[in-house]
Structure 1
Amino acid sequence: MTEAHARIYWLSRPGAEAPPPRWQPLDDAVYWERPSRGPDRRPLLAPAPDWAVDLQRVARAVFAADRYVRRAQVFDRWTRRITVSVPVTEPERWSRALPALTAVLGTMTGDLWEVVFRALDGKTVREGPFTFGSDEYAHDVALFSGGLDSLGWAAQRAGLPSSHPLLLVTFGERNFEAVQDHVYEAVRGLRRRPLRRIAQSQTVRKPHGSGIKLELTTRARGLLYAATAVHAAAAEHVPVVHLPENGQLALNPPLSAARAGACSTRSVHPWTLHHLNRVIAEVAEPGSAVRVENPFATLTKGEVCSVARDAGLPRKVLEATLSCGTPPARRPAGPELAHCGLCFPCLVRRSGLLHTFGHDRTPYAADPWDRALPASRTTHWRALRRWLDTDWSTLDLVADAPLPPDTQIAPLLEVVERGREELRALIAWADTTASRKAS
């Protein structure tokens, strides 16, 4: 789609409605999903309330729009203007949540969003039969990406003795689902309570033969993940959803001015979660709201690695996780090259594993300290080194993204500074390694 103002009309079901002129119709069929794992067939033990189904629908519409509208077609090659029309059960209630929703979308993507709500015509999700008792409902719900952070939280919670299940929500990475399955099995080996998992696809496909090129940045996927977990929690009456992300990458302070705002991922930033919780509070019926929290907001990557180790996971399992910021679908090599080794998430991962184990044997495609690499491939490494050589303060913490009004600043400053120390240790180790190779 190349228009300066993109208009996406989300259908309640394929072919159900005719969009107005100049609107692009999209629906659930754009997701590459097995029929057995579609949004109407999730293995939940009770039906989700209408507001949670609506939230899931809004998130799927937004993420599909995010992929169908390319940044390369706009004047600054980043900031798009996107209007999405979505059917919901109670448009008036959703209209009250609109300021908070647009704040979430703007913080995550850096785009100008307008969301239009229209009345939903009939149910879109099958219900029942549900014959389970409430004692079989999940007690904890968390995202499980197959990364170090979600693995650490899942391992910790799975090891707690309880008769109530832990429910993990996974979105498959194309070409790397085997990696996610492997680390999930490691959690299963630790469990002292029932464990369940919902697996979904985040792959959006273009119409066959259309010639459409999809956008690659996928900044809105954090909303898709969170909304799916909230939907599951609301169905099984779980009041809190956990989105585990170490405090360094949740805050994700930009390494340079060019990385400010949504140029650095903001999926679990405190400002994002604050507004997402405001959306839920506005649309949920009394007594059914779900709160979204980050349990690792004050831990560094190294401290999260220590949590996973202390929960009983061996180093080789942590090294088998997926952390790379470059989507694996763009690198069709096998799982042994799941990590580019050069992006900022890979660098934070390296520092965390080095902090906890003294070494990192993850197979990376490249090392940023390799003097044979061209400068174009070491931009993250050079930006990191410059950032660590500069002072850092409270003003830097809020310079490109606000914090919620009730935020305790000191713990966030402390987690960033401890994270900087872990990254400095990585640089010292890398410099020593490079010198040895050169000699």
Structure 2
Amino acid sequence: MIINFVHSDKDIYIAECENLRISYNAAKQFRYTFWQHDFSCSSWFSDTGIDLLYISFSVFIADRLCKREDASDNWSRNIELHIPVLECTLWNENVLLLQNTLSFLSGDHWKIVFRPREKSDIEVFAENRWKKKTHSEKTQMFSMVSMLSGGMDSLIGAIDLLEAGKKDILFISHYGGGKGTKEFQDRVIYSLQTEYELLEDNFLQFHASVVDGVEDTTRTRSFMFFSHAIVMATAYSNCSKMIISENGFISLNIPLTFSRIGTSSTRTTHPYYMTLIKELLNNVGITLNIYNPYQFKTKGEMLIECKNQEILNANIANTMSCSHPDVGRHRGEKEAMHCGYCLPCTVRQAALKRANMSDTSRYYDRQFKIGDEAKMCLNSYLQGLDMFQSKQTFMRIQMNGPIKEHVEELANLYNRGINEISSYLEEFK
């Protein structure tokens, strides 16, 4: 698939043999809210940061429009993107690293062709609006950006940061086409605002969705989520850190079996992917320390060690871990809920059992009884646990990408994560 991206009809560039021409600002093709925000940042976004954001949009759009079932192996697609950027020379110097990063993240073969562009009308308008605002109002100052997905891990990360007295944090959230994720983000944000007396300015929610998107695995969604936080960080002179809170077990993204069940789970914080992202940012001149405080913690350990158990317990049901939270709506339910049987749901319930915490969250099927998919997931998990041998862990953690540092710590972490899942699934054997 060859896709050519433009900012307006004024761009007459035509890619050779292009299959699709996508305009970022054509609502009938792609919808996003980034420029709808009335930003109060201390400086304007760097051109490189803006480029990264649009690169992530392009990748996400392609990911949603290209069916994996059309690939020769029903999985790895060949995708070529033609993208206009502000810093063309810089991105051309790093295009191979970018392609390798995306290939690791999504499992596809990427080719990216950059061409130079000028600022679009919407960018010029937004920057002028910001300049007028900063002349009359006090700008915000943040020392870090923190991802707030609406999941349990990011809630714990936010609580721990705030309990440590950090208030100069900009929390970044992102939601897509379904309503499920946003509902949970709204609840978490409201709770944090209330409990810690935070301002609305401490939180930014962004939306991006592809009209008529057909592919649901969307492994590149996290790259777009990252890019929103990164571009925001470029607008604050003293913003030097980006916090991504995710338990280390799920970060390793190791399948329990060789089945592709649950392949919508991503390599968002896999150590190798994090290394590639850090190298890419460094090469293009974006200075930002990306840090996962829970790289060596299981989800259960995160729950147990959270710095404010009262706030955590009050908000467990307000978090969403499921890889497809709108599953209930598709079956006639009025509200989004956890499916109960995907790997993230299973890890969530195993962690809550490990922490001995009550769980009032809504699950569509937490007994693995409704439908073939739930039963297949359970059989896959049990088969994987039966095959698991702790002496093979050092090799197993290398399955999804090379790990050269902290190998022993990550191997021990993986064993503890397996023990959490095994304990939870014991009743289903």
Above 0.5 in TM-score? Answer: yes
Paired residues of 1:109 and 1:262 also in contact (CA < 8 A): no
Q: Give SS of 2:355's match.
A: helix
Partner of 1:180: 185
Q: Give SS of 2:210's match.
A: coil
Paired residues of 2:179 and 2:336 also in contact (CA < 8 A): no
After TM superposition, the structure 1 = structure 2 runs for residues 115-264 of structure 1, keeping only pairs within 5 Å, are 115-123=112-120, 125=123, 126-127=126-127, 128-129=130-131, 130-131=134-135, 136-162=140-166, 164-173=167-176, 174-176=178-180, 177-191=182-196, 196-206=202-212, 214-237=214-237, 238-259=239-260, 264=265
Q: 1:8 to 1:289 in 2, by over 3 A?
A: same
Q: 2:39 aligns with which of 16, 40, 43?
A: 43
Paired residues of 1:158 and 1:192 also in contact (CA < 8 A): no
Once residues 61 and 45 of structure 2 are traced to their aligned partners in structure 1, the CA distance between those partners, rounded to angstroms, is 22
After TM superposition, the structure 1 = structure 2 runs for residues 16-415 of structure 1, keeping only pairs within 5 Å, are 16-23=11-18, 24-28=20-24, 29=26, 30-33=29-32, 37-39=33-35, 41=37, 43-45=39-41, 46-123=43-120, 125=123, 126-127=126-127, 128-129=130-131, 130-131=134-135, 136-162=140-166, 164-173=167-176, 174-176=178-180, 177-191=182-196, 196-206=202-212, 214-237=214-237, 238-259=239-260, 264-284=265-285, 288-308=286-306, 310=308, 312-328=310-326, 331-332=329-330, 333-334=332-333, 336-370=335-369, 373-389=370-386, 390-392=388-390, 393-403=393-403, 405=404, 407-415=405-413
What is the Cα deviation at residue 189 of structure 1? 2.5
Q: 1:391 to 1:14 in 2, by over 3 A?
A: farther
Once residues 312 and 271 of structure 2 are traced to their aligned partners in structure 1, the CA distance between those partners, rounded to angstroms, is 31
Segments of structure 1 that go 5 or more residues without pairing to the other structure are 1-5, 207-212, 432-439
Once residues 312 and 233 of structure 2 are traced to their aligned partners in structure 1, the CA distance between those partners, rounded to angstroms, is 30
Paired residues of 1:139 and 1:165 also in contact (CA < 8 A): yes
Segments of structure 2 that go 5 or more residues without pairing to the other structure are none
What is the Cα deviation at residue 114 of structure 1? 0.5
Per-residue CA deviation, residues 215-270 of structure 1 (Å, 9 max, x unaligned), is: 11111101000011001111113112112111111111111123499775212111
Partner of 1:437: none
Q: 1:222 to 1:198 in 2, by over 3 A?
A: same
Once residues 142 and 306 of structure 1 are traced to their aligned partners in structure 2, the CA distance between those partners, rounded to angstroms, is 21
Q: 1:44 to 1:143 in 2, by over 3 A?
A: farther
TM-score w.r.t. structure 1 length? 0.85
Partner of 1:435: none
- State the percentage of identical aligned residues: 23
Once residues 292 and 420 of structure 2 are traced to their aligned partners in structure 1, the CA distance between those partners, rounded to angstroms, is 21
Paired residues of 1:88 and 1:119 also in contact (CA < 8 A): yes
Paired residues of 1:248 and 1:419 also in contact (CA < 8 A): yes
Per-residue CA deviation, residues 338-394 of structure 1 (Å, 9 max, x unaligned), is: 111010110001011112234433221112444xx4554222222222222220411
Q: 1:182 to 1:376 in 2, by over 3 A?
A: closer
Q: Give SS of 1:276's match.
A: helix
What is the Cα deviation at residue 328 of structure 1? 2.3
Aligned AA (1:187): L
What is the Cα deviation at residue 202 of structure 1? 2.9
Q: Give SS of 1:171's match.
A: strand
Aligned length: 408
Q: 1:200 to 1:397 in 2, by over 3 A?
A: same
What is the Cα deviation at residue 192 of structure 1? 6.0
Q: Give SS of 1:188's match.
A: helix
Per-residue CA deviation, residues 130-153 of structure 1 (Å, 9 max, x unaligned), is: 34667x311221111100011111
Per-residue CA deviation, residues 315-340 of structure 1 (Å, 9 max, x unaligned), is: 24112211101252784455645111
Once residues 65 and 12 of structure 1 are traced to their aligned partners in structure 2, the CA distance between those partners, rounded to angstroms, is 16
